[in-house]
Copies of this chain bind each other. A is one copy, B any other.
Amino acid sequence: MTLAANPSAELARPALSRVPVTQLAGVCADRGVPDLAQRLLELDRWIAGELRDFDRALATVPRGVRAVQAAAHHLLDLGGKHLRPMCVALAAKCGTGFDDRARQLAIAVELVHTATLLHDDVVDVADTRRGQPSARVLYGNAASIFAGDWLLVEALRRIRATGDLALLDGMLGIIEEMILAESLQLERRGHIDGDVADYVRVAEGKTAALFRWAMGAGARAGGCAPAVVAALESYGADLGVGFQIVDDCLDFAGDVAVTGKALYTDLREGKLTLPLLIALPRDRELVALVAAAIADDDASIEEQTRRHLAIGHRIAATGALAEARAEAQARISRAIAALAVLPEGPARAALTTVAEATATREK
Q: Could you list which residues of chain A lie within 8 angstroms of chain B, going by C-beta atoms? A: 64, 66-69, 119, 122-123, 140-143, 145-146, 148-150, 152-154, 156-157, 160, 165, 168-169, 172-173, 175-176, 179-180, 182-184, 186-187
Contact = CB atoms under 8 A, between A and B. Distances in A.
Main SS at interface, chain A: helix
Nearest to A149: B179
A145 B356 CA distance: 36
A186 B142 contact: yes
Given A146-B179, A157-B173, 18 more contacts: A67-B183, A67-B187, A68-B186, A122-B142, A123-B141, A123-B145, A123-B146, A146-B183, A146-B186, A149-B175, A149-B179, A150-B179, A153-B176, A153-B179, A157-B169, A157-B172, A160-B169, A160-B172
Count of this chain's copies in the oligomeric assembly = 2
A142 B180 CA distance: 12
B149 A66 contact: no
Contacts of A180: 64, 66, 68-69, 150
A190 to B, nearest CB: 12
Contacts of A173: 157
A186 B67 CA distance: 8
Contacts of A187: 66-67
A141 to B, nearest CB: 7
5 contacts: A68-B180, A140-B186, A143-B186, A153-B175, A160-B172
